[in-house]
Amino acid sequence: MKDPKARLEALRADIERRNPAQPEFHQAVREVLESLAPVFAARPDYADPAVALVERLTEPERQILFRVPWTDDRGRVQVNRGYRVEFNSALGPYKGGLRFHPSVDIGVVKFLGFEQVFKNALTGLGIGGGKGGSDFDPHGKSDAEVMRFCQSFMTELYRHIGEHTDVPAGDIGVGGREIGFLFGQYRRVTNRWEAGVLTGKGQGWGGSAIRPEATGYGSVLFAAEMLKVGGRSLDGLSAVVSGSGNVALYTIEKLQQLGANPLTCSDSQGYVVDEKGIDLALLRQIKEVERGRVSEYAQRRGPSARYVPGGRVWDVPADAAFPSATQNELEERDARTLIANGVKAVSEGANMPTTPEAVHLFQSAGVAFGPGKAANAGGVAVSALEMSQNAARATWSAERVEDELAGIMRSIHAVAYETAERYGAPGDYVTGANIAGFERVADAMLAQGVI
């Protein structure tokens, strides 16, 4: 067999050649491949060119691109693109969110789908990986416009999904409102009440308790597990949180429940720092009810809060950091600032929010770093629990779901930590998560033949 590192480098070059102009996908693939040399050395069957395991794993099983025409409130027809990448189903039906944001393109969706394969494998819940979305921007649109877009989007997507095939959920720009419109249209065009086809539904019609909270809660619980290894806890620590969407809101909530003091939130225009700690009730009113900007929080909170337009939330000194907005938001310069200010742990609530250079800096400085495919797996974990409830036509209590979530996050931390130790990289959660997820998917693929 060719030297493992040389083979992996050849694979990486070929993947980038065959997927041009997709930098986010290249970045996600590179991070995983960089972890696999010791695995290839230990398990030559994974690296055997005759079975092309990694070539198959990095190529989506199906990529769907479609037109989404809809009519705005002025009566004018608008046209967006819709995407669904069904990446890998070796462990179960494709599972992953839908993202509605102007930045969405096929490369972004492929990166998200590829990450989802390993994240879902780490949960141990029997779900494959997929992702989708559109370049549609729901911000500033009326409820009627969002409804018409969602109905048009689902009119095409419905033929590709199902509870045993592909189960979408929400992501950036797709919350409870959008999931409701999408589910309603699915019922309309299929004439079926198939609750398990979408997750993130309202609790009154097939949704699960704790689903809105799950990603943010999970990120904090993972951070708590990392700190526990070093004999610390979140109690009494300060934290910086980026974003002000669903993940950020519930990251702030769980931090407060565990005794930490979250100081910040942000949006695309700037950030707020509140010396007294974020007033979660006020932030929720502005973001979830009024759909406003974080600048309004500073105006209404009083002298303890200030708004920094266009600033970097990572400039605020804190003990822990939770990037919870979008990909590549925490760069090398930000990592240097956080390290200089004494950060002890970083837990990714968003998908790949930290650049590779920043990750390496954190690891070199001994900062506990929780990668998204492990730290933010709480959302998809509770989505899978929602699927279980739908299959049984049962409703679990919030206490039961939260207990299940906590157990899953402890398990993900343990397998990432133990796998890193097994492969000679103690404390390296990136390596541990990548290898643990890879092994679970690879073993299933080998067992099922060349498909």
Q: What is the pLDDT of residues 93-128, one digit of tens each?
A: 999 999 999 999 999 999 999 999 999 999 999 999
Give the HSE-up count for residue 369: Cα atoms under 13 Å, Cβ half-sphere: 28
Q: Is 131 a catalytic residue?
A: yes
Tokens 């822990």 sit on residue: 320
pLDDT at 1 (0 to 100): 53
Q: Give yes or no: residues 237 and 327 share one domain.
A: yes
Indicate the annotated binding residues for substrate: 95, 116, 119, 170, 383
pLDDT per position as a tens digit, 328-375: 999 999 999 999 999 999 999 999 999 999 999 999 999 999 999 999
pLDDT at 3 (0 to 100): 84
Domain end, chosen from 322, 346, 370, is at 370
Indicate the annotated binding residues for NAD(+): 215, 246
CA–CA dist 326, 434 (Å, integer): 20
Pick 94 or 4 by higher pLDDT: 94
Measured CA distances, 398 to 214, 260, 345, 363 (Å): 11, 23, 28, 36
Q: Which amino acid, 168?
A: P
CA–CA dist 280, 256 (Å, integer): 9
Q: Give yes or no: residues 188 and 73 share one domain.
A: yes
Bridge partners of 233, per DSSP, are: none
Q: Which of 129, 136, 138 is nearest to 97 (CA)?
A: 129
Q: Give yes or no: residues 176 and 275 share one domain.
A: no
Percentage of the chain beyond pLDDT 70 is 100
Q: Which of 42, 52, 51 is nearest to 11 (CA)?
A: 52
Q: Give yes or no: residues 85 and 177 share one domain.
A: yes
Give me the mean pLDDT over the 266-282 stretch.
97
What is the chain's length? Answer: 451
Confidence of residue 2 (pLDDT cuts 50, 70, 90): low
Domain that holds residue 94: 62-193
**Catalytic hit among 2, 5, 131, 276:** 131
Q: Which of 161, 165, 181 is nearest to 173 (CA)?
A: 181
Cβ-based neighbour number of residue 370 at 10 Å: 26
Dihedral pair phi/psi, residue 194, rounded to 5°: -115, 80
pLDDT per position as a tens digit, 72-94: 999 999 999 999 999 999 999 99
Indicate the annotated binding residues: 95, 116, 119, 170, 215, 246, 383
Q: Give yes or no: residues 50 and 99 share one domain.
A: no
Q: Give yes or no: residues 221 and 366 share one domain.
A: yes
Domain end, chosen from 138, 163, 193, is at 193
Q: Which of 147, 225, 149 is nearest to 427 (CA)?
A: 225
CATH of the domain at 179: 3.40.50.10860
The whole-model pTM stands at: 0.96
